[in-house]
Amino acid sequence: MNDFILPDIGEGIVECELVKWLIKEGDVIEEDQPVAEVMTDKALVEIPAPHAGTVVKLYCQEGEIARVHAPLFAVDDGSDSNSDKTGHGEREDDHAGDVMVAAPARSTAQAQSAASQAVSSQSDVAAPASALSVSNGAATTPTAAALERRSRDFILPDIGEGIVECEVVTWHVAEGDTVEEDQTIVDVMTDKALVEITASEPGRIVRFHYAQGENARVHTPLYAYVPDEEAEAESTESTESDVTSSERKQAQPERLAEHRQAGDDKSDDKSKQDGRHEESQRRIPATPAVRRLLREHQLDIQVIAGSGRNGRVLKEDVLAYLKQSEAHETDVTPDDSHKVGAAAETDKTAAEACAVVSDVASDEERSSRLESKAVPLKGVAAVMARRMVQASTQIPHFHYGDELDITDLLALRARLKVRAEQQGIRLTLMPFIMKAMALAVIEEPILNARLSEDESEILYQGACNIGMAVDSASGLMVPNVKGVERLSILEIAREVGRLTEAARSGRVAQADLKGGTLSISNIGALGGTYAAPIINQPEVAIVALGRTQRLPRFDGEGNVCARDIMTITWAGDHRIIDGGTIARFSNLWKHYLEHPDEMLLSLS
């Protein structure tokens, strides 16, 4: 007899009201069968059975309060059979007894995962649980339970400076899968970027400690696994104990057999009404919410084609079947031919009515484009919001604007673009802008400095690491090119291309996000002309690049000519930078960009 422990059913929920028992003592239940309905402070939740067995005792009555991680009911799954005991009531094999104790712990952990997924959805559409159905069956075998005992926990390592937790985004493997060393196991979202967590050694996944969407803390177990050598050792031991295990399974208690027979008789009566026997049908996976929907509409799951993994029937499949059935019922049959004749006489009226209905439907479609919803602020977006508030309130900003005539620079880029493409490098203006900025930093190094935390020192940096703001799907990221002052134009272009692609996919390495000393925001790429950027703390300056426009300007002889003009706006930390300093820096940087041939004289 094993106690079913009420699993976590929502973040912060420690107790719930038991609204209704869907079973009673003595019932034979199946895996994934709903056993109880409980009401939390957020929703009504169905609790599924982790495995098949006979209900022995219900610990709570309807209307009482059940606590999370406390026993909810007791179930006999047949593991504690009489064959495990001698004539004197003692177990004849301590090792076998250990195995039977480990199996319930496995099932309970899986039930906790299933229930937490049910609450997090807050709807009838629950997350697919095919892995749960398969794993529960395997967990009651001696091999799976013994593997559970031999399993090790993979501890989530440090994934960034100052990061203490992250969100589990996607599991790339399932429980029971065999993985290789360095294989991607899971994607997690930190405050800065999407990070891939890889396997530390080859082995078999036993259990996930977190479901998708949950927050995992650094230095805590992320998943349990069994190394290859441990799995092989257990496989050998399992082969030697196959005979003993088979004998235990054949010697079930008479009481359990009677309960199962009674339950089978009841299910036979219901299945014979459809001309099928329950045992002859292949079990089709579906969540408790979907099965409840099937019961409400009195549908047989066998007649619905499942579109989920392993043929799982989803809520969408049931709704589509109902819609198709309704459409079929409304089709015109031969008996309705007189109705067709009557309808033909009112074609004009019907056409006018259809036009009105069409207009109403069109209005409803337009009005449904906007949706009222609440989206949690997390991940990169949450960090950006927090840092922007901190930077704008702690740093006294001042702004400085100017125009750059980049006509000659564009001509130089056009000449060098073909050669860069021969090396597989896309040459944009950004590498030239970064290189000119690094050269200007040599003359005005304070723009590459930062203020100490106690604001008592100015910390000059030994390398010019220029960051570029990228509008990625995960939010604003600012990866930086390291040591721009030491790199060639082509080397900078290669790094710019790599970082841009990584940022837009949300997979920037932590090292590429750290150590920036000066930043560029290229709003011109989106069509903007002017901006007032916010400094990327702890840096002390940032520049926003506007779009390039073809504008009339006067040449040296007073003639009007067309020139390519880019607007720029600097933001400086007025605690250590004054207007004169940033003006001198900007003028030198501007001179390099407007006279790119002179920039060559300063290259090292």
Hey, what are 465's tokens?
């690491």
Q: Tell me how crowded residue 328 is: count the other CB atoms within 10 A of its CB.
A: 8
Pairing of strands 215-217, 28-29: unpaired
Q: Which of 175, 133, 84 is nearest to 308 (CA)?
A: 133
Residue 594 CA to chain centroid, in angstroms? 46
Catalytic residue chosen out of the listed positions 574, 591, 595, 597: 574
Residues in the chain: 604
Residue 170 CA to chain centroid, in angstroms? 5
Q: What angle do CA 306, 137, 44 make, to 5 degrees?
A: 60
HEC string of 15-82 equals EEEEEEECCCCCCEECCCCEEEEEECCCCEEEEECCCCEEEEEECCCCCCEEECCCEEEEEECCCCCH
Residue 121 CA to chain centroid, in angstroms? 14
Contacts for 515 with CB less than 8 Å, ≥ 6 apart? 463, 465, 480, 482
Q: State the DSSP H helix or E strand holding residue 371, giving kind and residue range, or none if neither.
A: none
Q: Is 300 tagged catalytic?
A: no
Q: What sections of 311-346 are H helices per DSSP?
A: 315-329, 337-345
Q: Which of 431, 429, 425 is nearest to 406 (CA)?
A: 429
What dihedral angle (degrees, nearest 10) is formed by the CA atoms of 181, 184, 188, 189? 120
Task: State the Cα–Cα distance between residues 298 and 116, nearest whole angstrom.
Answer: 28
Q: State whether the Cα torsion 377-382-384-387 is positive or negative.
A: positive
Task: State the Cα–Cα distance between residues 495 and 500, nearest whole angstrom.
Answer: 8
Hey, what are 89's tokens?
């009531």
Q: Which of 126, 129, 130 is nearest to 318 (CA)?
A: 126
Q: State whether the Cα torsion 532-533-534-537 is positive or negative.
A: negative
Q: At what angle do helices 337-345 and 347-367 cross, to 10 degrees?
A: 90
Please check whether residue 219 is in contact with residue 499, taking contact to mean a CB–CB distance below 8 angstroms: no
Q: What sections of 368-394 are H helices per DSSP?
A: 379-394
Residue 144 CA to chain centroid, in angstroms? 28
DSSP character at residue 302: G
Catalytic residue chosen out of the listed positions 41, 336, 363, 578: 578
DSSP character at residue 532: -
Please check whether residue 417 is in contact with residue 427, taking contact to mean a CB–CB distance below 8 angstroms: yes
Hey, what are 351's tokens?
């056409």
Q: Is 219 tagged catalytic?
A: no
Task: State the Cα–Cα distance between residues 569 and 586, nearest whole angstrom.
Answer: 10
Task: State the Cα–Cα distance between residues 224 and 156, nearest whole angstrom.
Answer: 11
HEC string of 190-212 equals CCCCEEEEECCCCEEEEEECCCC
Please check whether residue 317 is in contact with residue 307, taking contact to mean a CB–CB distance below 8 angstroms: yes
Q: Does residue 50 have a cis bond before it (omega within 30 degrees)?
A: no
Catalytic residue IDs: 574, 578
